[in-house]
Amino acid sequence: MERRMVNEVIVSDDWTRNWQASIAVKITALVMWVIIVAVFIVATWLLRDMESRLQADFEAGADRIAYQVASLVEAGAAGETADLTARMAELQQGSGFSAIGLSLGQQDFLVGDADGQDVIERHLPTALAPGQDIDLEVFHPNLDELVAQRRNQLVIGIFATLLVFGLFLTWSIRTIVHRPLQQLVSATRAVSEGRREVRLDISREDEFGYLSRFFNQMLDRLMAQQRELEQAAEEARSVSRAKSAFLANMSHELRTPLNAIIGYSEMLEEEAGDIGARELTPDLHKINSAGRHLLSLINDVLDLSKIEAGKIEINPVMFQLRDLVSDVVDNIQPMMLRNNNHLQVEVPDPPGRMFSDETKLRQVLMNLLSNAAKFTEDGKVRLQLSRRRERGEDWVQFVVEDTGIGIAPEKLGRLFQEFSQVDSSSTRKYGGTGLGLAISRRFCEKLGGRIEVDSEPGSGSRFTIHLPADFGQLLPEPASRTTVPATRDRVGDTAGPGNAGKALIVDDNASSRDLISRTLQAEGIEVIEARDGREAIALLESQRPHLICTDLILPNMNGFDFIKWLRANPLTTELPLVVVSAMDINPADRRELELQRARIVPKGVNLRQQLVSLLQELVNGETAAG
């Protein structure tokens, strides 16, 4: 006998310890077959030679009747007819024959019903009644009918026996097997519906008792694991919230000083050119380039963190493709000239509009073009834009092709992996973290498209971006395409003659305030400054600016509350408002800012150029689609 321990429950293979379930599930079929075979054998034996046996029984009975009648005749009972008839009636009733007939000389005697019956004749010795013939007739039921009757009775008896046994077996199986199985099914259904407090009866000592113990132990462990998972999930949510808060703070804290470095280096580079100190220009340009590179790395790491956390957000807007391509080309040209590359741009006329996330698409194009410029020397880089129809939908295709070093086929598989480049030698020679292509692929997938690559070592690479022209078709509900409400006043509307106006700058970072102030002052705008929302409100009691530039992350009173106050105040409700912030603005906050008619300029590369461009729009009274 083998015994084994499973989860602290002893399981035995000795069927005598588990006789209830064993009878029901292990030997039920065997018992049924034994019974059926036994019944078949008995029935066969009973039906064999039944007619001859019945005939023999009747013959023997007739002999007994003949002997008894002979005794009556010999005793002189025939002298009295009534007495003989009565005695024959007694014999007939006790014999099981239908009738008895006696012919004694000239006298005939008959007791019972002889109609339609078979007869057995016996001739008694004449010595019993000298001078008279004695003949005896014994009547019995028809032999064929009797055989059929007995066969039917046997079949009915066998059927009744099997029926009783089947009912007993059904009751046994229901009690021993079906009922605990039904309880197990009900408990399993309850658990699947989330009611994990159910438990099974463990009082049985058979296999079902062990199964019930296993089931209860499984539920106990599942509940313990669920509690652990819930605790781990809550901890993960707490870590995620902390990570999000950290990334938001780091985004602001890292980008703000870098923006100052980039902005000041640009201004110093311009001033160096103006005063003729051109020997300082290369060094200032290096500072600017290093700052831009560091800011790009920080943006990539923050973007990757948001992608991994599933918090990447798409902000689709309607924009002109020509403007996007023109902006990308202007920004990438310095990198092209650095390696003496020629940039060829092919754009259809007109290229049309696109409804997608312009910022992320610009970042993808910049990643591809910067890689092409970096890995190509004295070569050609081609940027091609085209549109096509596919399955009734309008698609936009961007192709970035270069004549650079190319990529080996066996290394294409890990090209889009995070922190990965085709080989370590290219990393050392060309630099980079290997995040640009990984982020570009994620962005393309989020925008409903894909990015493909085809490359040959020594001949260059070709990257193709396929994106739907209307991102709104991918959304469960049509995306809003309403433009941002335009401010009714222009910067120059309330400015005096010869004055471009006055601007209020609200930022807690002195470098950011100084950078924005010098940019606006260069455009002839007078500047007043405040470090937070409360200080700005105090200034607005005595000052009447024509433009307000504010950050969102401010002490004492944050930028959102300050903007709400501005729009609720009749004196400032129509003022042009520009949000200049390094904060990652989520869609909900972006929609809120759009409703407050605020223009958004992110702190980053080309901050000064974006401010000047926006200022020109406001001065000219132009309104742009959001």
Number of domains in the chain: 5
The pLDDT of residue 416 = 77
Bridging pattern class, strands 526-530 and 502-506: parallel
Each residue's pLDDT tens digit, 257-316: 777 788 788 788 878 877 878 788 888 878 877 777 777 777 777 776 666 666 677 878
Q: Does 213 share its domain with 244?
A: yes
Q: Does 137 share its domain with 172?
A: no
Positions of the chain with pLDDT lower than 50, given as ranges: 1-19, 426-427, 478-490, 492-499, 622-626
The domain boundary, picked from 426, 458, 474, lies at: 474
**What CATH number is given to the structural domain containing 566?**
3.40.50.2300
Range of the domain at 347: 317-474
Domain-located, residue 481: no
Transcribe 176-216 into DSSP letters: IIIHHHHHHHHHHHHHHTT-TT--------SHHHHHHHHHH
CB within 8 A of 510, min separation 6: which ones?
A: none
The pLDDT of residue 9 = 42
Q: Does 403 share its domain with 419?
A: yes
Using CA atoms of 294, 299, 304, 307 in order, give the dihedral in degrees to the nearest 10: 180
**What CATH number is given to the structural domain containing 215?**
1.10.287.130
Domain-located, residue 253: yes
- Cα–Cα distance for residue pair 252/581, rounded to 1 Å: 8
Domain-located, residue 625: no
Q: Does 467 share its domain with 437?
A: yes
The pLDDT of residue 399 = 94
Task: Name the residue with tokens 């002189």.
Answer: 76
* C-alpha pair distances (Å), 533 with each of 61, 202, 274: 130, 70, 37
- Cα–Cα distance for residue pair 310/240, rounded to 1 Å: 11
Domain-located, residue 268: yes
Which of 348, 9, 386, 27 has its CA nearest to residue 173?
A: 27
The pLDDT of residue 123 = 80
Q: Does 328 share its domain with 450?
A: yes
Which of 374, 302, 366 has its CA nearest to residue 332?
A: 366
Domain-located, residue 483: no
Domain-located, residue 487: no
The pLDDT of residue 587 = 74
Each residue's pLDDT tens digit, 167-205: 787 777 766 666 777 777 788 888 777 777 778 777 777
Domain-located, residue 248: yes
The pLDDT of residue 346 = 92
Q: Does 348 share its domain with 416?
A: yes
Q: Which residues pair with 396 in a beta bridge?
A: 387, 467
The pLDDT of residue 287 = 83
Bridging pattern class, strands 598-602 and 577-581: parallel
Task: Establish how many alpha carbons lie within 13 A of residue 603's alpha carbon, considering only the half-sphere containing its beta carbon.
Answer: 32
The pLDDT of residue 91 = 82
Q: Does 465 share its domain with 516?
A: no
The pLDDT of residue 557 = 86
Return the H-helix or E-strand segment holding 142: none
The domain boundary, picked from 295, 312, 329, lies at: 312
Q: Does 299 share its domain with 327?
A: no
Which of 548, 555, 529 has its CA nearest to residue 593?
A: 548
Task: Name the residue with tokens 């120059």.
Answer: 492
**What CATH number is given to the structural domain containing 449?**
3.30.565.10
The pLDDT of residue 46 = 67
C-alpha 606: how far from chain center: 43
Full 3-state SS string of 61-89: HHHHHHHHHHHHHHCCHHHCHHHHHHHHH
CB burial class (10 A; 0-12, 13-18, 19+) of residue 281?
A: middle
Q: Does 305 share its domain with 258?
A: yes
- 548, two tokens: 């307000």
Q: Does 454 share its domain with 516?
A: no
- Cα–Cα distance for residue pair 522/245, rounded to 1 Å: 36
Return the H-helix or E-strand segment holding 337: helix 321-338
**What CATH number is given to the structural domain containing 137?**
3.30.1140
The pLDDT of residue 61 = 84
Q: Does 365 share its domain with 323?
A: yes
Q: Does 509 share its domain with 611?
A: yes
Given CA atoms 339, 340, 341, 347 in this order, what sign does their dihedral have?
A: positive
Task: Name the residue with tokens 């919230």.
Answer: 241
Domain-located, residue 587: yes
- Cα–Cα distance for residue pair 483/222, rounded to 1 Å: 53
